[in-house]
Amino acid sequence: MQDRYETLKIETPAEHVLLATLNRPEARNAMNTQMGRDLLELFGGLAADPGPCRVVVLTGAGDKAFCAGGDLKERRGMSDEAWQAQHAIFERMMLALIDCPVPVIAAVNGAAFGGGTELVGAVDFAYAATNARFALTEVTLGIMPGAAGTQTLPRVVGPRRAREIIFTGQPFSAAEAHAWGLINKVSEPAELLPETLATAARIAANAPLSIRQAKKSIHHGLQMDLRTAMFFEIEAYNRLVPTEDRREGVSAFNEKRKPNFRGR
């Protein structure tokens, strides 16, 4: 993972918390080829070695858009081959995001259209500002969601609601996104990032190996039958028993002090 990217702003606002900002406000943070590469590098790097990072908050620069989806100005006039080559980067980027070992929370600070909504569907959970708007508009452009939208959205909001959203291409509000389960909380715009970072800090204070194992168990267990998933959970659980953090957590509880988790 790099410290600097062309289309991302990377900060550490609290210990073990990484704030990644989609940083193309002049283009409503639309996803061009370089942003795809940068996000792939970021999340691929975290998968290889999270280092001190225990949670990621993903947001957009400015107060108008989280991410307006794919950059259609860049795509205008693209050959079929160039389009598919670019999309292959987006595909790998979304897989890297979904496979990220640490929790990823979206702070949706404005419009999240197309790939922006797909990013929200791929993170672990999301908060949104009251002025946020969502849509999967691909069918209005002669394409379809192709960055996991037809897979993540039915899992998050249910298949019938997902079909309505995808087939109509109709925008919907933060309140609707909350009611349908796409986002966890609606905040006033000025409070969105502080509230999201507060949740991230709370997660980061917990045992990092426990969080990673729990995330892995949820992610893979949802793709299994219940009995198989339970055995997978037990395997994930047992890997935590011999860790220093497990011993530290129990000791801290009995000594009535805050635990010092070290991720080992």
Task: Give the residue numbers marked as catalytic.
Answer: 118, 138
Count of Cβ atoms closer than 10 Å to residue 141 Cβ: 13
Question: What value, to the nearest 5°, has the Cα angle with vertex 13 and ends 11 and 17?
Answer: 85
CA angle 110, 93, 145 (to 5 degrees): 65
- On whether the CB atoms of residues 30 and 24 are closer than 8 A, the answer is yes
Nearest to 193 by CA among 15, 30, 50, 13: 13
Whether 132 and 189 have beta carbons less than 8 Å apart is answered as: no
Strands 125-129 and 104-108: parallel
**51 vs 62: CA distance, rounded Å:** 29
Could you tell me which of 46, 96, 101 has the C-alpha nearest to residue 212? 101
Tokens at 50, concatenated:
């999270």
